Structure 1
């Protein structure tokens, strides 16, 4: 019973299912691993989206230098900027939510510097 506490006790739902004997310890470990892989996937997809947006913006800016006389690709630049900002804000919001949930951030009333 104490082995689960060493592995991870952050998910109380799985912990109580294990304590009552509904699931085995290996099933709990597999579920926790699946949850962590899903969290990594949730972060990787917006990261790829932000990287692709950066690539579109770079191509739009440098396309003007290579081909003289062609119009500036404004839609490509705006689309790249949109993808970059959406991906970046999603990742930042994910980490901000996680830090607030773990109480790693100080609220405005608890800040000693103010």
Structure 2
């Protein structure tokens, strides 16, 4: 059950990152989505979506590895 919850928690930031990549790609090809009114705003939103999704997933993995003591000395808590 815990693994299913973890997969569900990771799905939404992953989907957000994928959507960010998609709208950045659409910007490069000149396809404007109806919710954005300029291409540079669409690209910036895509970059933010991708960054937030990647940051969340990376933090989740780092937290899990710290808890299981799989990190080397570089990523350990200093407090």
**Do the structures match in fold with TM over 0.5?**
yes
CA distance in 2 between partners of 1:106 and 1:57 (Å): 35
Q: Which has the larger radius of gyration?
A: 1
Q: CA deviation at 1:107?
A: 1.3
CA distance in 2 between partners of 1:102 and 1:44 (Å): 22
Aligned to 1:97: 63
User: Does residue 63 of structure 1 match 2:30?
Assistant: yes
CA distance in 1 between partners of 2:3 and 2:62 (Å): 17
Stretches (4+) displaced over 3 A:
none
**Coordinate RMSD, CA, aligned:** 1.7
Q: CA deviation at 1:61?
A: 1.0
Larger RCO: Structure 1 or Structure 2 (Cα < 8 Å, ≥ 6 residues apart)? 2
Write the deviation string for residues 82-112 of structure 1: whole angstroms up to 9, x where unpaired. 000100110011000000000000113xxxx
Q: TM-score normalized by structure 1? A: 0.57
Q: TM-score normalized by structure 2? A: 0.80
Aligned to 2:41: 75
